[in-house]
Amino acid sequence: MPKDIYDVVVIGSGPAGLAAAIEAKKTGAEDVLIIERDKELGGILLQCIHNGFGVEILKEDLTGPTYAQRYIHEIEQLGVELLLDAFVLDLSPSRHIYAISQWSGFAELDARAVVLSMGARERTRAQIRLRGTRPAGVYTAGTAQRFTNVEGYLPGKRFVVLGSGDIGMIMARRLTFEGAKVERVLEIMPFLTGLTRNYVQCLLDFDIPLQLRHTVKRILGNHRVEAVEAVQVDEKWQPIKGTEEVIPCDTLLLSVGLIRGQQESRRCARSGDRRPVRG
Amino acid sequence: MARKNYDVVVIGAGVVGSMVARFLSRYRLDILHIEKEVDVCMGATAANTAIIHAGYDPVPGSLKAVMNVVGNKMWDTLAGELNIPFERRGDYVVAIGEEELPALDELWDRGVKNGVPGMLMLSGAEVRRREPDINPKVSGALWASTGGIADPFAATVAAAENAVMNGVTLMLETKFEDFVMEDNRIVGVKTNRGTFGCRWAVNAAGLYSDEVMHKAGIRPEFKITPRKGEYYVFDRAEIAVNNVLFPVPSPISKGILVTTTVHGNTIIGPNAQEIEDKEDCSVTQAGLDEVWAGAQKLVPKLDLKYAIAVFAGLRPGGNAPCETPGVNYGKDYIIEIPDKVRGFVNLGGIESPGLVSSPAIAQRVVDLLKDAGEKLEEKPDWEPIRPARPRFRDMAPEEQKILIENDPRYGRIVCRCEYVTEGEIVAEIHAPIPARTYDAIKRRTWLGTGRCQGGFDTPRVVEILARELEVSMLDVTKKGSGATMLARRTKDVEG
């Protein structure tokens, strides 16, 4: 069971949370606890099996899980306590924490300091006002990444990726490795939104076409995605009539940006002693 | 297991069919309830505004008016027995500008004629006081204290489940194909899963009620014209309207509302677009633009930035003339045992206010059967109470603690926006009507309806469904046949 009181409680164990816990311990905090919702430490790093991590800090080119493991190792050596497969239901302004897990049950604890490092959420189809039907086969790039890299399942065989963000391009390459066909990456802006490095290594090298100033006008298919209708847009992001093109596919991946987690943090902090905060 | 002969076959498991099955389950009858989809509540009941209307809107003298007002009074008992969310918080019809005020008087008159209790005319100032975010040009409102909000998914699942608890056989993925007729009597129902003999068939087929009654040779002129309505759902953490706000109605619809739901989300919609395709629940640019404009007229401070979902539903609008002499109305409900064909209870055109009316319609079906000479003998062991399953997020911390101690699966949050636990998901998969798809879990637990729209929970739910149903993750679907969520294992070759 977790203790009643900690010097520092870190919520979330992605790169930020791991680093915060390590630094807290190194700079003198006695009791440090990480609360993580997954069964292992590392956060989204665990599903980022591509390389490119650690280049600046460690001067090594590592995959996400390997990079995370370096810090996890340090966490273990420093004796940071862990509450895994757990969830913080509420956090009061006086830093009283209500957390649950299968192992600990319903736990209440206090912290002298709390680090909120809960990461971000991906923008969804509604947030970019995608029209059309609501079939199976519309996934955010991160969800598809989890299915592919952690669960070991391909979410589809024929993809269109909306958005030229880094996760989208990296997933386009990853899915191609797995034998899936990525028909197109569509980007509504007149420029690439991810890194040029990823454009070269993930799209150009694998002959995956990128269309700038293009978006998805609507999704087709009642049960599973059957196609998307792509369209070119003008300077004001309005669809240009006559440029519609129906692209047959079974999956639409959305890589259209992240929402910062601060909204949750803010609510978490101001919720006081009310009932559990709801997202 | 399904048998060959029944007293009653109920066709359709929307809220109307499910309420009929539940009300009939009180009597000594062998009842088969069939539904073409993979779950209950997948047609018109699945996508609407979730309002328990007070009853001032339908044309006086129409069946719609009677069912609405009678049904409204039944909801307190119904919600108590079925353990479903229902809040009688009243609703407002809001007049913006002086020119809309006369429309309120007309609704008031209708309400009085329909027997709606507890109505009040409010001044603009009073409305602004009660709902501070309303358009400041509000000139007045009709307040109906008996209006309310409910959860159509919960109502349908609970009614169908209570029917099953009381001995009704529910067969999903069972599509009505035709009737077996002898002379002018229905003696059976043909489906894709065999033919079932019956003494009575109840048409509760919603959008397809016209096609079902035509198979019985009834009302060949009756036609369902789907009327699409589109909606935005807002993040409950970011915006909250406290009330149910209607605009003054138009000739074809009650207009674009701004309302709250029992789950705390603000929703806006619907528009009203007549279409032909009974399966077309796509959302359109034009539709959403219309909804947005309408909602802003009522609550200007709404911000699309906080929209987290869009959806569309179809109203099964009919063209049956009202049968009350002197009432000129052409879109009434059909609730009848026709003379021409025996053994047939015919329900048609049950559109809004269908949710609120559903218990009244079910009771009317019971009464019609009695009038037709059916000896409905009450079962001494009929159980009207459908127990609720634990909802973690609605519990006090002390209750949550005990729940997790008794079953640690309630200690794992799967949906972190809506605080849905693995325990709840597993309970729904093993409920009397098993939830077998992602959407079935979503309808029952509200999982995946928050800001991330299932981004985090989806892989976990697919895994839990596969484990509990003892199938491959590849066989798990979003909403039944053809809607699989995954294509194949990684490292596998293309088959």
On whether both B334 and B426 belong to a single domain, the answer is no
Beta strand pairing status for A181-187 and A158-162? parallel
pTM (predicted TM-score): 0.94
A255 touches chain B (CB under 8 A): no
Provide the domain limits for residue B452.
392-475
B267 and B157 both lie in a single domain? no
CA distance B292 to B232: 8
pLDDT score at B4:
87
Tell me, yes or no, whether B343 and B367 share the same domain.
yes
Residue type, B359: P
- Please tell me the distance from the alpha carbon of residue A38 to that of residue A151, in angstroms, as a whole number: 13
Residues B160 and B194 placed together within one structural domain of the fold: yes
Nearby residues of A69 by Cβ (< 8 Å), 6 or more positions away = A42
Span A43-96, pLDDT tens digits: 999 999 999 999 999 999 999 999 999 999 999 999 999 999 999 999 999 999
> Are B283 and B362 in a shared domain?
no
Listed as ranges, residues in chain B with pLDDT below 70 are 1-3, 494-495
Domain topology for A124-256: FAD/NAD(P)-binding domain (3.50.50)
Residues B237 and B211 in one domain: no
Let me know whether B304 and B270 are in one domain. Answer: yes
Which positions 121-140 of A are in contact with B (Cβ < 8 Å)?
121-122, 124-127, 129, 131-137, 139-140
Cβ within 8 Å, pair A132-B282: yes
Overall number of domains in chain B: 3
Asked whether the domain spanning A124-256 has the same topology as the one spanning A5-120+260-270, the reply is yes
**Which segments of chain A are extended strands (E)?**
5-11, 32-35, 51-53, 62-63, 81-83, 86-91, 96-101, 105-116, 120-122, 131-132, 138-140, 153-154, 158-162, 181-187, 210-212, 214-220, 227-232, 245-248, 251-254, 258-260
Residue B84 within any structural domain of the chain? no
User: Which of B437, B378, B428, B364 lies closest to B157 in space, CA to CA?
Assistant: B428
Check whether residue B180 and residue B204 sit in a common domain. yes
**B412 occurs within a structural domain:** yes
Residues B352 and B464 in one domain: no
Tell me the chain A residues in contact with residue B281 when contact means C-beta distances shorter than 8 Å: 133-134, 222
Between CA A162 and CA A186 the distance in angstroms is 5
The whole-angstrom distance between B299's CA and the closest CA on chain A is: 20
Best of B436, B447, B452 to disrupt the A interface (most A CBs within 10 Å) is: B452
**Which has the closest alpha carbon to B315: B385, B229, B257?**
B229
Judge residue B420's burial from the number of C-beta atoms within 10 Å of its C-beta, 0-12 exposed, 13-18 middle, 19 or more buried.
buried
- What residue spans define the domains of chain A? 5-120+260-270, 124-256
Give residue B113's pLDDT. 98
Q: Over the stretch A107-126, which tens digit does the pLDDT of each residue have? A: 999 999 999 999 988 988 88
Q: How far apart are CA B157 and CA B84, in angstroms?
A: 10
- Whether the pLDDT of residue A6 is over 80: the answer is yes
Indicate the pLDDT class of residue A262, thresholds 50, 70 and 90.
low
Looking at residue A128, what is its pLDDT?
83
In a domain, B55, yes or no: no
Taking all residues of chain A, what is their mean pLDDT, rounded to a whole number? 92
Please tell me whether residues B238 and B141 are part of one structural domain.
yes
- Up-side HSE of residue A195: CA atoms within 13 Å toward CB? 8
* Nearest CA distance, A59 vs chain B (angstrom): 31
Nearest residue, CB atoms, B282 vs list A131, A147, A276: A131
What per-residue string of b and e applies to B107-121 under the rule 16 or more CB within 10 Å gives b? bbebbeebebeebee
Residue B57 lies in a domain: no
Tens digit of each residue's pLDDT (9 = 90 or more) over B101-112: 999 999 999 999
Q: Determine contact: B238 vs chain A, CB below 8 A.
A: yes
* Domain A5-120+260-270, CATH: 3.50.50.60
Residues from chain A that touch B481, judged by Cβ atoms under 8 A, are: 223
CATH number at residue B418: 1.10.10
Q: pLDDT value at position A277? A: 33
B81 in a domain, yes or no? no
* Domain shared by B425 and B311, yes or no: no
Q: How many CB pairs under 8 A join A and B?
A: 167
Q: Which residues from chain B sit within 8 angstroms of residue A105, using beta carbons?
A: 401, 404-405, 408, 411
- Cα distances (Å, whole numbers) of residue B341 to B182, B204, B208, B214, B480: 10, 17, 19, 11, 34
Residue B183's CATH number: 3.50.50.60
Predicted pLDDT at A272:
41
ipTM score: 0.91
User: How far apart are the C-alpha atoms of B266 and B243, rounded to whole Å?
Assistant: 9
**How much is the pLDDT for A271?**
46
Query: What's the confidence (pLDDT) of residue B1?
Result: 47
- Chain B positions touching A252 (Cβ under 8 A) are none
- Residue B238 is predicted with a pLDDT of 75
Specify whether B229 is located in the same domain as B299.
yes
Domain contains B62? no
Q: Which residues of B are less than 8 Å from A123 in CB distance?
A: none
Contacts of B475 (CB under 8 A, 6+ apart): B466, B484
The CATH number assigned to the domain holding B129 equals 3.30.9.10
Which of B291, B315, B339 delimits the end of a domain? Answer: B315
Sign of CA dihedral B408, B410, B415, B417: negative
- pLDDT band for position A259 (cuts 50, 70, 90): confident
Residue B262 main-chain phi, psi, to 5 deg = -65, -15
User: Is A95 touching B (CB cutoff 8 A)?
Assistant: no
